[in-house]
Amino acid sequence: MTARQTRVGIIGAGPAGLALALLLERAGIESVVLERHTREYVENRIRAGILEYEVAELLRANGVGARMDREGFRHAGTNLLFDGALHHIDFAALTGKHVMLYSQHEVVRDLIAARLAQGGEIRFGAEVAEIAAIGGPRPVLHWREAGGERALACEIVAACDGFHGVGRAALAGALTGAMDAGALDAGGMESFDRAYPFAWLGILAAVPPAKEELVYASHAEGFALLSMRSATVSRLYLQCAPDELLSAWPDGRIWEALARRLAHPGFTLPTGPILQKSVTPMRSFVSEPMQAGRLFLAGDAAHIVPPTGAKGLNAAVADAAVLARALVRALRDGDERGLAGYSATCLDRIWKIERFSWWMTAMMHRFADHSAFDRRMQHAELEYYTSSLAGRTALAENYVGLPLYGEEG
Ligand code: RFL
Ligand code: PHB
């Protein structure tokens, strides 16, 4: 089989892969995106909703912010609710920044449209089965499409293929291979994992948002989150058991639980038709390093956060931004230093994001094994982070997003 050639082979048309393809395109570097699902599937996958300040700015600066600015919502703050009282965190006053509420699938649609308008290539229904020759100068992607087997020879492979992709295992294999071959500086892959004893039951409902900004609620029955998608569609979540059966949650039970957990003076939760229900497990995961030879991981392929801090999509785009900058320096200017430091640069930021997401999750949820002391600690944290200026600033600074390129700026 003769392999096609490209400069950067990108696996996955999620936020990481599409953002990387866009940034490379803008710098005149050719790439091919291989995505196993159909375009319709990836454009309708309901996931995240919050874009960090710098992520939104990056989209604007690269010509994909117009619809976000027209149809998305600018949120200059958020709310924490506990003991039946609402506490506002004013991002604008505390940090001078805001976040954008704009659905992940809309970002994905905009990125796909921008790429295709520039004549860039995305192959849908193209499933990568193997990444070969990672340690050499030209790694090869073997993929299946329409029943046929194909190959793509690349200078670089970016595995932006999510948590269940092929990239992470290929990278682990390449590191082991290098160790077996006695490479002096080779080490293995290390994974860090934490599962939480609960999940989120999420609904999409044909109901106008009950508030202008999000409400993160800590309640004796468990966490709840009020979010939104548009002027007519709300997105709400409830803490539930990890093995929760949706059949145990008829619409009436969901609305009653949400109303109890989100109750505060002067607030009524409007109810209406539920369009979609799902259960999302909660997990923290990081695998190190994020590169081996000519293979680089970005986004969920290398790390997962629980959704409480609204960070997964943002972390994926941040990796893509760091990788694009390093690739432009390497492939256009011949300077490989950024590529050599890619994993370290990303992981420094990722661990801070992991910490924030873990901390928000620990502060806001009910843990069945908590002692009375643990519950008092949780309460003291909520009090501190909503009443102290330093506490509110720390929360706001992390929520609007840490610098995209790390300390390097
Ligand atoms: P993705 O989006 O999973 O994309 C990976 C793509 O790779 C494809 N793929 C392959 N293609 C070809 N060959 C193969 N062998 C392949 N294997 C996989 C897949 O089909 C897919 O299209 O990963 P990426 O780009 O790293 O993006 C990560 C984000 O999608 C994820 O972190 C966020 O959605 C997480 N998340 C949230 N993040 C936020 O920043 N803010 C939020 O408010 C937020 N809320 C959420 C969330 C995730 C949720 N779920 C369902 C997991 C809320 C929920 C409910
Ligand atoms: C969402 O709107 O889906 C959303 C918002 C904030 C989160 C998680 C999910 O922390």
Full DSSP string of 72-110: SEEESEEEEEETTEEEEEEHHHHHS--EEE--HHHHHHH
Q: Are 55 and 401 in contact (CB under 8 A)?
A: yes
> Would you call 399 a catalytic residue per the annotation?
yes
Pocket test residue of 152, 300, 319 for ligand 1, highest count of atoms within 8 A of CB: 300
pLDDT at 1: 60
How far apart are the CA of 323 and the centre of ligand 2, in A?
26
Q: What is the pLDDT of residues 90-112, one digit of tens each?
A: 999 999 999 999 999 999 999 99
Whole-angstrom distance, CA of residue 237 vs CA of residue 277? 10
3-state SS, residue 334: coil
Task: Look at residues 26, 28, 22, 27 and name the one whose alpha carbon lies nearest to residue 10.
Answer: 22
Within 10 Å of residue 336's Cβ, how many Cβ atoms? 12
Tokens of 314: 């943002």
CA distance to 181, 210, 300, per residue, from 290 (Å): 20, 41, 11
pLDDT at 267: 96
Low-confidence ranges of the chain (pLDDT < 50): 409
Whole-angstrom distance, CA of residue 302 vs CA of residue 170? 12
Whose CA is closest to atom 41 on ligand 1?
Answer: 310
The ligand minimizing its distance to the Cα of 152 is 1
How far apart are the CA of 162 and the centre of ligand 1, in A?
6
Catalytic residue among 15, 75, 196, 303: 75
Q: Which amino acid is at 269?
A: L
pLDDT at 110: 98
49: CB partners within 8 A, 6+ apart = 101, 102, 103, 104, 227, 228, 229, 235, 310
4: CB partners within 8 A, 6+ apart = 32, 150, 151, 152, 153
> Would you call 277 a catalytic residue per the annotation?
no
Whose CA is closest to atom 54 on ligand 1?
Answer: 47
Ligand 2 atom with least separation from CA of 101: 2
The ligand minimizing its distance to the Cα of 233 is 2
Q: Are 242 and 222 in contact (CB under 8 A)?
A: no
Is the distance from the beta carbon of residue 111 to the nearest atom of ligand 1 less than 6 Å?
no
The ligand minimizing its distance to the Cα of 303 is 1
> Would you call 311 a catalytic residue per the annotation?
yes
Q: Which amino acid is at 179?
A: M
Q: Which residues line ligand 2 (CB under 6 A)?
A: 48-50, 214, 227, 235, 307-308, 310
> Would you call 75 a catalytic residue per the annotation?
yes
Among all chains, which residue has been given the structure tokens 């934490």? 194
Whole-angstrom distance, CA of residue 65 vs CA of residue 47? 19
Ligand 1 atom with least separation from CA of 19: 25
Full DSSP string of 176-215: HHHHHTT-TT----EEEEEEEEEEEEEEEESS--SSSS-E
Task: Look at residues 178, 196, 174 and name the one whose alpha carbon lies nearest to residue 186.
Answer: 178
> Would you call 405 a catalytic residue per the annotation?
no
- Domains annotated on the chain, with CATH: 4-49+103-189+289-360 (3.50.50.60), 196-281+367-400 (3.30.9.10)
Whole-angstrom distance, CA of residue 299 vs CA of residue 14? 9
